[in-house]
Amino acid sequence: MNYFSSDFKLGILGGGQLGKMILTETRKFDIQTYVVDPSTDAPCRFGATKFFQGALTDYQTVLDLGSQVDVLTIEIENVNLEALEALEEQGKKVYPSPKTLRLIKNKGNQKDFYIQNNIPTAPYKRFATLEALKSEVKNGSVNLPFVWKATEGGYDGNGVKVVRNAEDLNILPQTECIAEMMIPFKNELAVIVARSASGEIKSYPVVEMEFHPEANQVEYVICPARIDENISQKARQIALQVSEAYNHVGLLAVEMFQTQDDEILINEVAPRPHNSGHYSIEASYTSQFEQHIRAILDLPLGNTDSKVAGIMVNLVGEEGYSGQVIYENIEKIMAVDGVTPHIYGKRETRPFRKMGHVTIVNENMTEARKIAQQVKETIRVISK
Protein backbone atom coordinates (compact mmCIF):
# COMPACT_ATOMS: atom_id res chain seq x y z
CA MET A 1 0.00 0.00 0.00
CA ASN A 2 1.14 3.55 -0.73
CA TYR A 3 1.06 5.37 2.61
CA PHE A 4 2.83 8.53 1.50
CA SER A 5 1.20 11.53 -0.21
CA SER A 6 -1.88 9.40 -0.88
CA ASP A 7 -5.44 8.88 0.37
CA PHE A 8 -4.23 6.54 3.13
CA LYS A 9 -5.52 7.64 6.57
CA LEU A 10 -4.04 6.76 9.96
CA GLY A 11 -6.36 7.08 12.97
CA ILE A 12 -5.03 7.86 16.44
CA LEU A 13 -7.11 7.42 19.59
CA GLY A 14 -5.87 10.10 21.98
CA GLY A 15 -4.59 13.58 21.23
CA GLY A 16 -2.09 14.17 24.03
CA GLN A 17 1.65 14.78 23.88
CA LEU A 18 2.44 11.26 22.62
CA GLY A 19 0.04 11.79 19.73
CA LYS A 20 1.58 15.19 19.06
CA MET A 21 5.05 13.62 18.78
CA ILE A 22 3.67 10.86 16.50
CA LEU A 23 2.24 13.62 14.28
CA THR A 24 5.73 15.14 13.86
CA GLU A 25 6.71 11.89 12.12
CA THR A 26 3.50 11.48 10.08
CA ARG A 27 3.98 15.02 8.77
CA LYS A 28 7.58 14.16 7.87
CA PHE A 29 6.23 11.23 5.79
CA ASP A 30 3.12 13.13 4.57
CA ILE A 31 0.65 10.64 6.02
CA GLN A 32 -2.93 11.83 6.67
CA THR A 33 -4.02 11.58 10.30
CA TYR A 34 -7.43 11.58 12.00
CA VAL A 35 -7.27 12.11 15.76
CA VAL A 36 -9.94 12.02 18.46
CA ASP A 37 -9.56 13.33 22.03
CA PRO A 38 -11.98 14.47 24.75
CA SER A 39 -10.25 17.84 25.23
CA THR A 40 -10.89 20.88 23.02
CA ASP A 41 -7.32 22.07 23.59
CA ALA A 42 -5.58 18.70 23.15
CA PRO A 43 -1.93 19.00 21.98
CA CYS A 44 -2.87 17.23 18.70
CA ARG A 45 -5.56 19.69 17.66
CA PHE A 46 -3.27 21.65 15.30
CA GLY A 47 -1.08 18.89 13.88
CA ALA A 48 -3.68 16.36 12.71
CA THR A 49 -5.24 16.40 9.25
CA LYS A 50 -8.61 16.16 11.02
CA PHE A 51 -9.24 16.54 14.75
CA PHE A 52 -12.45 15.39 16.46
CA GLN A 53 -13.57 15.95 20.02
CA GLY A 54 -15.05 12.90 21.74
CA ALA A 55 -14.70 10.44 24.61
CA LEU A 56 -12.24 7.61 23.94
CA THR A 57 -14.31 5.31 26.16
CA ASP A 58 -17.46 5.94 24.07
CA TYR A 59 -18.31 3.03 21.73
CA GLN A 60 -19.77 5.15 18.93
CA THR A 61 -16.93 7.74 18.99
CA VAL A 62 -14.28 5.02 18.54
CA LEU A 63 -16.36 3.22 15.90
CA ASP A 64 -16.87 6.46 13.93
CA LEU A 65 -13.16 7.28 13.88
CA GLY A 66 -12.24 3.71 12.93
CA SER A 67 -14.70 3.67 10.03
CA GLN A 68 -12.98 6.72 8.44
CA VAL A 69 -9.39 5.40 8.51
CA ASP A 70 -7.30 2.55 7.09
CA VAL A 71 -5.20 1.74 10.17
CA LEU A 72 -6.07 2.64 13.78
CA THR A 73 -3.60 3.05 16.65
CA ILE A 74 -3.61 4.47 20.20
CA GLU A 75 -1.57 6.84 22.32
CA ILE A 76 -3.39 5.91 25.56
CA GLU A 77 -4.72 2.54 26.78
CA ASN A 78 -8.02 3.72 28.24
CA VAL A 79 -10.17 3.32 25.11
CA ASN A 80 -13.37 1.44 24.26
CA LEU A 81 -12.19 -2.11 23.52
CA GLU A 82 -15.61 -3.37 22.38
CA ALA A 83 -15.55 -0.83 19.53
CA LEU A 84 -12.00 -1.87 18.58
CA GLU A 85 -13.10 -5.53 18.54
CA ALA A 86 -16.05 -4.65 16.28
CA LEU A 87 -13.72 -2.76 13.91
CA GLU A 88 -11.27 -5.67 13.82
CA GLU A 89 -14.14 -8.04 12.95
CA GLN A 90 -15.01 -5.73 10.05
CA GLY A 91 -11.45 -6.22 8.77
CA LYS A 92 -9.99 -2.96 10.03
CA LYS A 93 -6.31 -3.02 11.02
CA VAL A 94 -6.07 -2.10 14.71
CA TYR A 95 -2.58 -1.97 16.28
CA PRO A 96 -2.00 -2.84 19.08
CA SER A 97 -4.90 -5.33 18.87
CA PRO A 98 -7.80 -5.14 21.34
CA LYS A 99 -6.74 -8.61 22.55
CA THR A 100 -3.30 -7.25 23.54
CA LEU A 101 -4.87 -4.15 25.11
CA ARG A 102 -7.27 -6.29 27.17
CA LEU A 103 -4.32 -8.22 28.63
CA ILE A 104 -2.42 -5.03 29.49
CA LYS A 105 -5.15 -2.54 30.46
CA ASN A 106 -5.87 -4.16 33.84
CA LYS A 107 -2.76 -4.35 36.07
CA GLY A 108 -4.11 -7.41 37.86
CA ASN A 109 -4.49 -9.23 34.52
CA GLN A 110 -1.00 -8.01 33.59
CA LYS A 111 0.51 -9.55 36.71
CA ASP A 112 -1.40 -12.82 36.22
CA PHE A 113 -0.16 -12.92 32.60
CA TYR A 114 3.49 -12.74 33.74
CA ILE A 115 3.01 -15.66 36.12
CA GLN A 116 1.26 -17.73 33.42
CA ASN A 117 4.12 -17.04 30.97
CA ASN A 118 7.02 -17.62 33.42
CA ILE A 119 8.06 -13.97 33.28
CA PRO A 120 9.72 -12.82 36.54
CA THR A 121 7.69 -10.25 38.50
CA ALA A 122 7.35 -9.11 42.15
CA PRO A 123 5.01 -11.24 44.34
CA TYR A 124 1.50 -9.75 44.65
CA LYS A 125 -2.11 -10.39 45.67
CA ARG A 126 -5.25 -9.23 43.86
CA PHE A 127 -8.25 -7.75 45.66
CA ALA A 128 -11.71 -7.04 44.23
CA THR A 129 -12.29 -4.31 46.83
CA LEU A 130 -10.37 -2.08 49.21
CA GLU A 131 -12.29 -3.70 52.12
CA ALA A 132 -10.95 -7.13 51.19
CA LEU A 133 -7.41 -5.74 51.24
CA LYS A 134 -7.99 -4.02 54.60
CA SER A 135 -9.17 -7.26 56.23
CA GLU A 136 -6.11 -9.18 54.99
CA VAL A 137 -3.81 -6.44 56.30
CA LYS A 138 -5.65 -6.64 59.64
CA ASN A 139 -5.26 -10.42 59.96
CA GLY A 140 -1.60 -10.26 58.91
CA SER A 141 -1.81 -12.16 55.61
CA VAL A 142 -0.52 -9.07 53.75
CA ASN A 143 2.71 -7.72 55.19
CA LEU A 144 3.45 -4.00 55.54
CA PRO A 145 4.90 -2.05 53.82
CA PHE A 146 3.67 -2.88 50.31
CA VAL A 147 2.89 -1.10 47.04
CA TRP A 148 -0.82 -0.55 46.37
CA LYS A 149 -1.86 -0.25 42.71
CA ALA A 150 -5.29 0.42 41.26
CA THR A 151 -5.82 -2.17 38.51
CA GLU A 152 -7.32 0.38 36.10
CA GLY A 153 -6.92 4.04 35.21
CA GLY A 154 -3.57 4.88 36.82
CA TYR A 155 -1.20 7.33 35.06
CA ASP A 156 1.83 9.48 35.88
CA GLY A 157 2.17 8.15 39.42
CA ASN A 158 -1.60 8.31 40.11
CA GLY A 159 -3.07 4.96 41.10
CA VAL A 160 0.15 3.87 42.87
CA LYS A 161 0.84 4.34 46.58
CA VAL A 162 3.32 2.94 49.09
CA VAL A 163 1.30 1.69 52.09
CA ARG A 164 3.50 1.87 55.19
CA ASN A 165 0.82 1.45 57.89
CA ALA A 166 -2.87 0.53 58.19
CA GLU A 167 -3.88 4.24 58.34
CA ASP A 168 -2.52 4.76 54.79
CA LEU A 169 -5.33 2.50 53.54
CA ASN A 170 -7.99 4.99 54.64
CA ILE A 171 -7.11 7.54 51.94
CA LEU A 172 -7.19 5.02 49.08
CA PRO A 173 -10.11 4.89 46.62
CA GLN A 174 -12.69 2.08 46.60
CA THR A 175 -11.50 0.08 43.60
CA GLU A 176 -10.11 -3.26 42.47
CA CYS A 177 -6.42 -3.28 43.33
CA ILE A 178 -3.25 -5.28 43.86
CA ALA A 179 -0.89 -5.32 46.84
CA GLU A 180 2.64 -5.88 45.59
CA MET A 181 5.65 -6.82 47.70
CA MET A 182 8.14 -3.96 48.01
CA ILE A 183 11.30 -4.98 46.24
CA PRO A 184 14.61 -3.48 47.39
CA PHE A 185 16.08 -2.62 44.00
CA LYS A 186 19.28 -1.06 42.69
CA ASN A 187 17.75 0.43 39.57
CA GLU A 188 14.50 1.00 37.72
CA LEU A 189 15.12 0.17 34.07
CA ALA A 190 13.10 0.15 30.86
CA VAL A 191 13.43 -1.33 27.39
CA ILE A 192 11.31 -0.34 24.41
CA VAL A 193 10.60 -3.16 21.97
CA ALA A 194 9.28 -2.51 18.47
CA ARG A 195 7.42 -5.27 16.63
CA SER A 196 6.03 -4.92 13.12
CA ALA A 197 2.80 -6.47 11.79
CA SER A 198 4.84 -9.17 10.00
CA GLY A 199 6.86 -9.97 13.13
CA GLU A 200 10.14 -8.09 12.67
CA ILE A 201 11.37 -7.20 16.16
CA LYS A 202 13.99 -4.81 17.58
CA SER A 203 14.77 -3.49 21.04
CA TYR A 204 16.19 -0.14 22.09
CA PRO A 205 19.10 0.11 24.57
CA VAL A 206 18.26 -0.21 28.27
CA VAL A 207 17.44 3.09 29.95
CA GLU A 208 17.71 3.92 33.64
CA MET A 209 15.04 5.95 35.40
CA GLU A 210 15.48 8.28 38.36
CA PHE A 211 12.22 9.06 40.17
CA HIS A 212 10.88 12.01 42.15
CA PRO A 213 10.59 10.74 45.75
CA GLU A 214 7.12 12.22 46.45
CA ALA A 215 5.31 12.40 43.12
CA ASN A 216 6.33 8.89 41.96
CA GLN A 217 7.10 10.41 38.55
CA VAL A 218 10.22 9.92 36.46
CA GLU A 219 12.56 12.92 36.74
CA TYR A 220 15.42 11.67 34.56
CA VAL A 221 15.63 8.98 31.89
CA ILE A 222 19.25 8.08 31.17
CA CYS A 223 20.39 6.24 28.02
CA PRO A 224 22.42 4.11 28.08
CA ALA A 225 21.71 2.86 31.62
CA ARG A 226 24.80 2.91 33.84
CA ILE A 227 24.76 -0.86 34.40
CA ASP A 228 26.96 -3.87 33.55
CA GLU A 229 26.73 -5.17 30.00
CA ASN A 230 25.52 -8.61 31.19
CA ILE A 231 22.62 -6.98 33.12
CA SER A 232 21.80 -4.94 30.03
CA GLN A 233 21.72 -8.11 27.88
CA LYS A 234 19.50 -9.87 30.43
CA ALA A 235 17.06 -6.92 30.53
CA ARG A 236 16.80 -6.79 26.73
CA GLN A 237 16.30 -10.56 26.56
CA ILE A 238 13.46 -10.49 29.12
CA ALA A 239 11.87 -7.52 27.29
CA LEU A 240 11.87 -9.58 24.06
CA GLN A 241 10.31 -12.52 25.95
CA VAL A 242 7.53 -10.19 27.18
CA SER A 243 7.00 -8.84 23.67
CA GLU A 244 6.69 -12.33 22.18
CA ALA A 245 4.23 -13.35 24.93
CA TYR A 246 1.96 -10.36 24.24
CA ASN A 247 2.29 -10.76 20.46
CA HIS A 248 1.83 -6.98 20.17
CA VAL A 249 2.26 -4.80 17.08
CA GLY A 250 3.80 -1.36 17.55
CA LEU A 251 5.87 -0.37 20.56
CA LEU A 252 5.95 -2.03 23.96
CA ALA A 253 7.65 -0.17 26.81
CA VAL A 254 8.77 -2.73 29.39
CA GLU A 255 9.50 -1.27 32.85
CA MET A 256 11.66 -3.38 35.16
CA PHE A 257 13.46 -3.55 38.50
CA GLN A 258 17.07 -4.62 38.88
CA THR A 259 17.14 -6.23 42.34
CA GLN A 260 20.03 -6.12 44.81
CA ASP A 261 21.15 -9.54 43.59
CA ASP A 262 20.84 -8.54 39.92
CA GLU A 263 17.61 -10.31 39.09
CA ILE A 264 15.38 -8.55 36.56
CA LEU A 265 11.69 -8.32 37.52
CA ILE A 266 8.96 -6.91 35.26
CA ASN A 267 7.09 -4.01 36.83
CA GLU A 268 4.59 -3.16 34.09
CA VAL A 269 4.28 -2.49 30.36
CA ALA A 270 2.72 0.13 28.09
CA PRO A 271 1.75 -0.79 24.49
CA ARG A 272 2.61 2.57 22.90
CA PRO A 273 5.32 5.25 22.75
CA HIS A 274 6.44 5.98 26.29
CA ASN A 275 8.13 8.56 28.50
CA SER A 276 11.18 6.27 28.76
CA GLY A 277 11.76 6.61 25.00
CA HIS A 278 11.56 10.41 24.58
CA TYR A 279 15.37 10.69 24.61
CA SER A 280 15.33 8.87 21.24
CA ILE A 281 14.08 11.94 19.31
CA GLU A 282 17.52 13.56 19.61
CA ALA A 283 19.78 10.67 20.66
CA SER A 284 18.77 7.70 18.44
CA TYR A 285 19.03 6.93 14.74
CA THR A 286 15.28 6.20 14.76
CA SER A 287 13.02 7.92 17.29
CA GLN A 288 10.44 5.78 19.09
CA PHE A 289 7.67 7.75 17.35
CA GLU A 290 8.97 7.04 13.85
CA GLN A 291 9.49 3.42 14.88
CA HIS A 292 5.88 3.13 16.05
CA ILE A 293 4.68 4.25 12.61
CA ARG A 294 7.07 1.88 10.84
CA ALA A 295 5.84 -1.02 13.01
CA ILE A 296 2.07 -0.48 12.64
CA LEU A 297 2.37 0.13 8.87
CA ASP A 298 4.59 -2.97 8.49
CA LEU A 299 7.48 -0.98 7.07
CA PRO A 300 11.09 -2.06 7.76
CA LEU A 301 12.05 -1.16 11.34
CA GLY A 302 14.74 1.50 11.79
CA ASN A 303 18.09 1.34 13.60
CA THR A 304 17.49 1.47 17.38
CA ASP A 305 21.10 2.34 18.32
CA SER A 306 21.93 5.64 20.01
CA LYS A 307 24.12 8.16 18.18
CA VAL A 308 25.11 9.81 21.45
CA ALA A 309 24.36 9.61 25.20
CA GLY A 310 20.95 11.08 25.97
CA ILE A 311 19.15 12.18 29.13
CA MET A 312 15.53 13.23 29.30
CA VAL A 313 14.26 15.57 32.02
CA ASN A 314 10.51 15.75 32.61
CA LEU A 315 9.00 19.22 32.84
CA VAL A 316 6.13 19.09 35.32
CA GLY A 317 4.06 21.81 36.92
CA GLU A 318 5.63 23.32 40.05
CA GLU A 319 3.78 22.85 43.31
CA GLY A 320 1.70 25.86 44.26
CA TYR A 321 0.96 26.94 40.67
CA SER A 322 -2.23 26.41 38.65
CA GLY A 323 -3.41 28.31 35.59
CA GLN A 324 -2.00 29.73 32.34
CA VAL A 325 1.48 28.22 31.96
CA ILE A 326 4.79 30.10 31.89
CA TYR A 327 8.11 28.34 31.23
CA GLU A 328 10.45 30.41 33.39
CA ASN A 329 14.15 30.54 32.30
CA ILE A 330 13.58 28.46 29.16
CA GLU A 331 15.95 30.76 27.22
CA LYS A 332 18.70 30.08 29.80
CA ILE A 333 18.62 26.33 29.25
CA MET A 334 18.42 26.82 25.45
CA ALA A 335 21.75 28.66 25.66
CA VAL A 336 23.42 25.39 26.74
CA ASP A 337 24.87 23.10 24.02
CA GLY A 338 22.94 19.91 23.39
CA VAL A 339 19.75 21.01 25.17
CA THR A 340 16.40 20.70 23.34
CA PRO A 341 13.08 21.52 25.03
CA HIS A 342 9.81 19.91 23.92
CA ILE A 343 6.70 21.83 24.97
CA TYR A 344 3.56 19.71 24.83
CA GLY A 345 1.00 22.43 24.14
CA LYS A 346 -1.03 22.20 27.35
CA ARG A 347 -2.09 25.77 28.16
CA GLU A 348 -2.99 25.11 31.80
CA THR A 349 -0.43 23.98 34.37
CA ARG A 350 -1.10 22.34 37.74
CA PRO A 351 1.21 20.67 40.30
CA PHE A 352 3.08 17.67 38.83
CA ARG A 353 1.20 17.81 35.49
CA LYS A 354 3.46 16.71 32.60
CA MET A 355 3.92 19.87 30.53
CA GLY A 356 7.00 19.01 28.45
CA HIS A 357 10.44 17.45 28.54
CA VAL A 358 14.01 18.48 27.80
CA THR A 359 16.59 16.26 26.10
CA ILE A 360 20.29 16.65 26.82
CA VAL A 361 22.73 14.99 24.40
CA ASN A 362 26.45 14.80 24.98
CA GLU A 363 29.38 12.55 24.02
CA ASN A 364 30.13 12.25 27.73
CA MET A 365 27.45 10.69 29.98
CA THR A 366 28.81 12.29 33.19
CA GLU A 367 28.70 15.72 31.56
CA ALA A 368 25.18 15.04 30.22
CA ARG A 369 23.98 14.15 33.74
CA LYS A 370 25.50 17.36 35.14
CA ILE A 371 23.74 19.46 32.49
CA ALA A 372 20.48 17.58 33.18
CA GLN A 373 20.73 18.60 36.84
CA GLN A 374 21.42 22.19 35.80
CA VAL A 375 18.37 22.14 33.49
CA LYS A 376 16.18 20.68 36.26
CA GLU A 377 17.27 23.42 38.67
CA THR A 378 16.95 26.28 36.16
CA ILE A 379 13.67 25.89 34.28
CA ARG A 380 10.40 26.19 36.22
CA VAL A 381 6.87 25.47 35.00
CA ILE A 382 4.77 28.10 36.76
CA SER A 383 1.68 30.20 36.05
CA LYS A 384 0.74 33.87 35.85
Hey, what long-range contacts does 256-261 have (CB within 8 A, 24 or more apart)? 256/188, 256/189, 256/190, 256/191, 257/122, 257/183, 257/185, 257/187, 257/188, 257/189, 258/185, 258/186, 258/187, 258/188, 258/189, 258/227, 258/231, 259/183, 259/184, 259/185, 259/186, 260/184, 260/185, 260/186
> What pLDDT, on the 0 to 100 scale, is given for residue 216?
67
Distance from C-alpha of 382 to C-alpha of 16, rounded to nearest angstrom: 20
Residue 334 assigned as binding residue: no
**What separation in angstroms does the CA of 95 have from each of 6, 72, 92, 164?**
21, 6, 10, 40
pLDDT of residue 157: 66
Q: Do 198 and 298 belong together in one domain?
A: yes
**Ligand-binding site membership of 180 (annotated):** yes
- Predicted pLDDT of residue 218: 80
Domain final residue pick, 146, 181, 216: 181
Known binding residue 182? Answer is yes
Q: How far is CA 94 from the centre of its chain?
A: 19
Q: What is the pLDDT of residue 166?
A: 87
Residue 319: inside a domain, yes or no?
yes
Residue 210 assigned as binding residue:
no
The CATH number of whichever domain residue 46 belongs to comes to 3.40.50.20
206 with 337, same domain? yes
Measured CA to CA, the distance from residue 261 to residue 50 in angstroms comes to 51
**What is the domain count for the chain?**
3
Give the model's pLDDT for residue 52: 98
Pair 246, 353 in one domain: yes
Task: Answer yes or no: is 377 a known binding residue.
Answer: no
Task: Specify if 276 maps to a domain.
Answer: yes
Query: Is 149 contained in some domain?
Result: yes
Same domain, 269 and 372: yes
Residue 214 burial (C-beta neighbours within 10 Å; 0-12, 13-18, 19+): exposed
Known binding residue 275? Answer is no
Instruction: Please report the pLDDT score of residue 156 as a whole number.
Output: 63
- The pLDDT assigned to 219 comes to 87
Range of the domain at 61: 9-94
Residues 6+ apart with CB under 8 A from 291: 194, 202, 251, 280, 301, 302, 304
Ranges under pLDDT 70 in the chain = 155-157, 215-216
Q: For residue range 22-37, what is the model confidence (pLDDT) as tens digits?
A: 999 999 999 999 999 9
Does 312 carry a binding-site annotation? Answer: no
Determine whether the annotation assigns residue 355 to a binding site: no
DSSP letter, residue 309: E
pLDDT at residue 74 in the model:
98
